[in-house]
A and B are shown apart, each in its own frame.
Chain A
Amino acid sequence: MAGTLTGTRIRDWRLSRGLRQSDLAQEAGISPSYLNLIEHNRRRIGGRILNKIARALDIDPAQLSDGGEAVVLGGLADIAQRNSLDDLEVGRLEAFATQFPGWAQMMLDLQGTISALEARIQVLSDRLANDPHLADALHEVISAVTAIRSTASILVTGEEVDAEWRERFHRNIYQDSVRLAEQSRALVSFLEASDDGQTHLLSSLDEAERYFSALVDAVGVDALESGAENRMSNGELVQGMSEAGRFRFDRIMNELRQDERLWPMSDVAGLFGAVAGDLGDFVIQSGRAVPLAIRRFVACQRLANGAKDFSYFEIDPTGELLRCDDGLQIGLGSGADICPRWPVFDGASQPGRLEQRVVHIAGRDKVEYEAIGGVFPEQNGTGIRGYLLILPVTGGEGPGTTDSGREIGPGCRICSVQNCDMRREPSLLAAAAIVPQATSL
C-alpha cells in the first residue's frame, strides 16, 4: 500500500508550481499518459522515477513519499476491519485519507484511545479474575449490598411487617451499611495503592510478552534483533512495567539477539520458505542445535504470518512458563494447571527428542492443532527447557476438525476428558463420570 497516495502529492505539487502534466512529464522523462496514471494513484512508483519527478518539481523526494501515508492507510484499514466495513467502503479509504487528512488522523487518534482503554479494561478484568484479595474484597462489598437491598425492599414494599421483625431489619441494615462503608474504604485504599501504573497489574511474564508483542507489531521481529527497538524503550509502553517484567523482557531480548548472532535471520529465511512451515524438516535441514532452530523458526513464523497464527511456549523444569506468546489463545496455564498430555512432556523422559502430534482441546469443538514440542538441554549446561509450538491445522476452507487427534485438557479442574491416567484432581464438569484411572501395582 505504500506509495499509493504519492500520485496525489505529485499532482498537488505540480499544480502549486503551475505546471501542466505534459511539462512535468517531459521534464521527468516519462510520457504524459503515464504521469496521468501516476497522479491518479493507478501506478505505484518509487526509486528512479520518483527521484526524477521530485527533481523536476525541485523538491526532496521524501516530500512525495515519506511513508506516513502507509501508516495512515494501514491504520484506517485496521479500523475498517474492526468495524466490518464492506469492500465498497474499504475501497474509498485512500480517497478519504487524501481529501480529509485531519479527519483521518482524528480517527486514528480515537482508535488509539479506544485500544488503550480496551487494554486497560483487560488488565482490570484479569485482575478481578486472578487477584484473590480483590475478589474477596469485592465479594464482601456485594454481599453487604445484597443484604441491604433485600432487607430494605422488605421494609418499603408497603406490606405489614411485625414490629419485632422491623426492628431487627433496621438493625441489620445499619450493621451492613457499616460493613459496606468499611469494605468500600478498604477497597479504594487497596486500588489507589496499587494503581500507580498499568502493566504491573499483570504477571511479570504477561507484562514482558505484551511489551514484546507490541514492539514486534511496531518494528518487526527483524528490527528487534538488530536493536531498533531502542527507540521505543523509553516510550509509553514501558512506563509502569515492573522490575520483574523488565527482567523477563530483557531475558527474551537477549536470547533473541544471541540467536540472531548465531544464525542471522537473513540466512534463516530461505530455509524457512523452503520447508513450507514444517518445523521438523526445518530442524533436520538446519543442522543447528534443536532449541536454536526452534526459536529461529518461531521468529520466522512471526515475521511471515503475524502474531495470531501460532502459540509458542517455553517451560522450565518446574512447569513455570518462560515464554507465553499465545496468539491462538490456547491458554496453556502454568505449573500444575498445564495439561501433561501436551507433546512437550512426551519428551521429558527422552530429552533431545522432538514430538509432533495433531491435538484438539477438550470442549473446543474438536478444532485441530499441530503441536510440536520437546525437552532439550540448555546450551550453557544449567538444566533443561521445554519447547512447545502450536499451529492451526488448516484444510482448504478453514481450520480442520478431528475425532482422532490427542485430546488435551484445559486444566484438570475444568477438564471433561474421561479416564485420564494423568488426572491430578477431580473435574468439576463431569461429576462421578471422571475418576482417576486405576493403576496396577
Chain B
Amino acid sequence: MAKRVLVIEDEPNIIEAISFILSRDGWTVHTHSDGETANMRIKATPPDVIILDVMLPGKSGYDILRDLRADQDVSGIPVLMLTARGQTRDRELAEELGATKFMSKPFSNAEVLENVRGLAG
C-alpha cells in the first residue's frame, strides 16, 4: 500500500506541483489549505509524512506543529516544514517546536522528494 503524505499549503499551484511529483514517485497525496482545521484533518486520517507551510490562513504552521507534538495520537508523525523565510531564528523555532526537517522556499523538486523519502524511512 502506498504511503500517504499530507501537504498543508495554501498556494494552489505549489500544491499542484508537489502533488504531481510525489504522486509520480508512488505516494498517495492528500492536501489541506486551511490552518484552522489542519490538526483535526491530521487526527482524522494520520498520514505517514506531513509537509507543512508556515504562513497559512487561520493558524500558522508553527501553531499547528506545536499542537501536533502535544497530541500523543499523532505526535510521532515526521514533519517537513516549508517557509518563505530562511532566517536562522525561523529554523531554530521550527526545530524547537519539533519539525523533523526544514526547507526554505523556493526549493527544488529533487529536494522535496529526497526529504520526504528520508522521513518515511
Q: Does B107 contact A146, Cβ atoms closer than 8 Å?
A: yes
**What is the CA–CA distance of A159 and B62 in the complex, to the nearest angstrom?**
36
B101 within 8 A of A: no
Query: In the complex where A143-B84, A414-B93, A432-B70 touch, is A172 in contact with B13 (Cβ < 8 A)?
Result: yes
**What is the CA–CA distance of A145 and B13 in the complex, to the nearest angstrom?**
11
B17 within 8 A of A: yes
Q: Does B14 contact A147, Cβ atoms closer than 8 Å?
A: yes
B16 within 8 A of A: yes
Query: In the complex where A428-B62, A428-B93 touch, is A139 in contact with B84 (Cβ < 8 A)?
Result: yes
Query: In the complex where A142-B105, A142-B106, A146-B106 touch, is A431 in contact with B67 (Cβ < 8 A)?
Result: yes
Looking at chain B's contact residues, the main secondary structure is helix
Q: Does A138 contact B66, Cβ atoms closer than 8 Å?
A: no
Q: Does A429 contact B97, Cβ atoms closer than 8 Å?
A: yes
Q: Which residue of B lies closest to A143 (CB)?
A: B11
Q: Does B16 contact A168, Cβ atoms closer than 8 Å?
A: yes
**What is the CA–CA distance of A352 and B76 in the complex, to the nearest angstrom?**
53
Residues on the B chain within 8 Å of A159, using CB: 24
Most chain A CB within 10 A, of B11, B107, B112, is at B11
Most chain B CB within 10 A, of A138, A143, A159, A429, is at A143
**Whole-angstrom distance between the Cβ of A222 and the nearest chain B Cβ:** 39
Give me the 3 closest cross-chain CB pairs, A-B, nearest first: A431-B70, A150-B17, A147-B13
Which residues in A have some Cβ–Cβ distance to B below 8 Å? 129, 138-139, 142-143, 145-147, 149-151, 153-154, 157, 159, 165, 168-169, 172, 175-176, 414, 428-429, 431-432
Query: In the complex where A428-B63, A429-B96, A431-B69 touch, is A176 in contact with B13 (Cβ < 8 A)?
Result: yes
B18 within 8 A of A: yes
Interface residue ranges of B91-114 to A (CB < 8 Å) = 93, 96-97, 105-109, 112
**Whole-angstrom distance between the Cβ of B84 and the nearest chain A Cβ:** 4
Residues on the B chain within 8 Å of A153, using CB: 108-109
Q: Does B66 contact A146, Cβ atoms closer than 8 Å?
A: no
**What is the CA–CA distance of A429 and B98 in the complex, to the nearest angstrom?**
9
B55 within 8 A of A: yes
Interface residues on B, range: 20 to 34
**What is the CA–CA distance of A168 and B13 in the complex, to the nearest angstrom?**
10
Query: In the complex where A142-B106, A143-B11, A431-B70 touch, is A154 in contact with B17 (Cβ < 8 A)?
Result: yes
**What is the CA–CA distance of A159 and B21 in the complex, to the nearest angstrom?**
11
Query: Can you give 26 contacting A-B residue pairs, CB < 8 Å?
Result: A142-B84, A142-B106, A143-B14, A143-B84, A146-B11, A146-B84, A146-B106, A149-B106, A150-B14, A150-B106, A150-B109, A151-B13, A151-B17, A154-B17, A154-B21, A154-B109, A159-B24, A168-B16, A169-B16, A172-B16, A428-B63, A429-B96, A429-B97, A431-B67, A431-B69, A431-B70
Residues on the A chain within 8 Å of B66, using CB: 428, 431
**Whole-angstrom distance between the Cβ of B79 and the nearest chain A Cβ:** 14
Scoring B residues 79 to 90 as 1 if CB is less than 8 Å from chain A, else 0, what string do you get?
Answer: 000001101000
**What is the CA–CA distance of A147 and B12 in the complex, to the nearest angstrom?**
9
**What is the CA–CA distance of A150 and B13 in the complex, to the nearest angstrom?**
9
Residues on the A chain within 8 Å of B63, using CB: 428
Q: Does A147 contact B11, Cβ atoms closer than 8 Å?
A: yes
**What is the CA–CA distance of A154 and B21 in the complex, to the nearest angstrom?**
7
**What is the CA–CA distance of A169 and B106 in the complex, to the nearest angstrom?**
17
Residues on the A chain within 8 Å of B105, using CB: 142-143, 145-146
**Whole-angstrom distance between the Cβ of A33 and the nearest chain B Cβ:** 60
Q: Which residue of A lies closest to B82 (CB)?
A: A146
**What is the CA–CA distance of A129 and B13 in the complex, to the nearest angstrom?**
26
**Whole-angstrom distance between the Cβ of A414 and the nearest chain B Cβ:** 7
Q: Does A149 contact B84, Cβ atoms closer than 8 Å?
A: no
**Whole-angstrom distance between the Cβ of B63 and the nearest chain A Cβ:** 7
**What is the CA–CA distance of A172 and B85 in the complex, to the nearest angstrom?**
23
Scoring B residues 47 to 64 as 1 if CB is less than 8 Å from chain A, else 0, what string do you get?
Answer: 000000001000000110
**Whole-angstrom distance between the Cβ of B86 and the nearest chain A Cβ:** 10
**What is the CA–CA distance of A143 and B10 in the complex, to the nearest angstrom?**
10
**Whole-angstrom distance between the Cβ of A370 and the nearest chain B Cβ:** 28
Most chain A CB within 10 A, of B16, B17, B70, B96, is at B17
With A146-B106, A431-B97, A432-B70 given, can you name 17 additional A-B contacts, CB distance below 8 Å? A139-B85, A142-B105, A142-B106, A143-B105, A146-B14, A150-B107, A150-B109, A150-B112, A154-B17, A159-B24, A168-B16, A169-B20, A172-B13, A428-B62, A428-B97, A429-B97, A431-B70
Q: Which residue of B lies closest to A147 (CB)?
A: B13
Residues on the A chain within 8 Å of B55, using CB: 139
**Whole-angstrom distance between the Cβ of A351 and the nearest chain B Cβ:** 37
Residues on the B chain within 8 Å of A432, using CB: 70
**What is the CA–CA distance of A220 and B47 in the complex, to the nearest angstrom?**
63
